[in-house]
Amino acid sequence: MSAEAEAAAPHGPLAGFTVGVTAARRADELAALLTRRGAAVLHAPALRIVPLADDSELLAATQELIARVPDTVVATTAIGFRGWVEAADGWGVGDALLKTLKGVELLARGPKVKGAVRAAGLTEQWSPSSESMAEVLDRLLAEGVAGRRIAIQLHGEPLPGFVESLRAGGAEVVGVPVYRWLPPQDPAPLDRLLDATVSHGLDALTFTSAPAAASLLDRAEERGMLAELLLALHDDVLPACVGPVTALQLQARGVTTLAPERFRLGPLVQLLCTELPARSRVLPLAGRRVEIRGHAVLVDGELKSVPPAGMALLRALARRPGWVVARAELLRALPGSGTDEHAVETAMARLRTALGTPRVIQTVVKRGYRLALDPAADAKYAED
């Protein structure tokens, strides 16, 4: 199927795929983007955000900055900077904070942060067009940081090498912990997401923050299933990260991740719309184009919902298309099927009904089943 035909299909490019969402913030937005493109979404926040109004650490850091004014303040995120100012207002120190920030060198990482700074009635001294913290670091080091007191508005994300480089240059670095992350209060949803991942019930798992990735890995380790999780992310479940910083925790464990060129939710979803269909198995069977996706099948572009047992049989047959697969082998592929080969016949009948084209699967008497592979159609489908 061409890209144009796929885009025009009523089912959406992610139909038949299940995508896991680990986000705590903007999870509804990400889930809506995925659902709109046809995906089934399994959401479990891998962490929770400490409410700003209740964050004693942020209040203490704010009061310290007001009492001991820094030379430079680096604002890293728009939502974090706005939240910091609003929280300070709620604590009754908002005016004092703004007065402090007006008297320092204020650097804003990118246009969005610059907008938040100006909305607070402040003016940044400099902002990189690249939105790169590396460029911010280069500027600070070029100016010289020895003996300077530099405050960095943190946002729950690690800044690899940033703080270390400033301290190595002789600076005193103060972190302002806006939006701290903690493990979820109820781990049950996260456990269900982990179980779905290791059982290959997901086609992709999305990460929009490094703390979420770290929290998922920590929970898997607590449950003694870290090796299974890493194997699933290596083999069948596509780990998709919003950006390279988010990917660091997974990459440190040897997991290869994908990230969009623009570190935003929209491009992340678009990446999945390209990558997941490209990973699906497409076979010419009995004159039909059959595309095997995560929990559904496209038959000549028409979406067919298939029960889990049927999908298990179809995948087992698709591993050797055109070859006979014995009932005993198919029985082993069925989840929780026991030893009764009649379960294969029942599941096969339901699979054929779900596909709506019984001829794509042939019964070989006393031997088993095989997919009705049409080798002559290979060239035709290769061109589509």
Write the pLDDT tens digit of every residue in 289-344. Answer: 999 999 999 999 999 999 999 999 999 999 999 999 999 999 998 877 666 778 89
How far is the CA of 248 from the CAs of 110, 131, 329, in angstroms? 22, 19, 40
Report the pLDDT averaged over residues 22-31. 91
Measured in degrees and rounded to the nearest 5, phi and psi for residue 245 equal: -65, -40
Neighbours of 2 (CB within 10 A): 9
96, 66 contact by CB (below 8 A):
yes
- pLDDT at 159 exceeding the cut of 90: no
Enumerate domains of the chain plus CATH numbers: 3-48+184-279 (3.40.50.10090), 52-178 (3.40.50.10090), 281-383 (1.10.10.10)
Per-residue pLDDT band at 377 (split at 50, 70, 90): low
What DSSP element (H or E) covers 143?
Answer: helix 133-143
* pLDDT tens profile 123-151: 999 999 888 888 999 999 999 999 999 99
**What's the pLDDT at 237?**
96
Closest CA to 110 of 75, 157, 139: 75
Per-residue pLDDT band at 104 (split at 50, 70, 90): very high
65, 176 contact by CB (below 8 A):
yes
**What's the pLDDT at 154?**
84
Please name the amino acid found at residue 327: R
* pLDDT tens profile 36-65: 999 999 999 999 888 777 888 899 999 999
- Beta 48-49 vs 18-21: how paired, if at all? unpaired
* pLDDT tens profile 343-375: 899 999 999 999 998 899 999 988 999 999 987
- Alpha-carbon gap, residue 63 to 97, rounded angstroms: 8
Q: Where are the alpha helices (DSSP H) in 252-341?
A: 265-279, 308-318, 327-333
- Would you call 343 helix, strand, or coil by DSSP? helix
- pLDDT at 381 exceeding the cut of 50: no
Q: Dihedral sign, CA of 221, 223, 225, 230? A: negative
- Beta 296-299 vs 149-154: how paired, if at all? unpaired
Closest CA to 33 of 325, 326, 271, 232: 271
**What's the pLDDT at 156?**
65
- pLDDT at 198 exceeding the cut of 50: yes
- Beta 302-305 vs 325-326: how paired, if at all? unpaired
How far is the CA of 108 from the CAs of 126, 127, 145, 246, in angstroms? 7, 5, 17, 21
pTM of the predicted model, to two decimals?
0.76
Per-residue pLDDT band at 238 (split at 50, 70, 90): very high
Per-residue pLDDT band at 246 (split at 50, 70, 90): confident
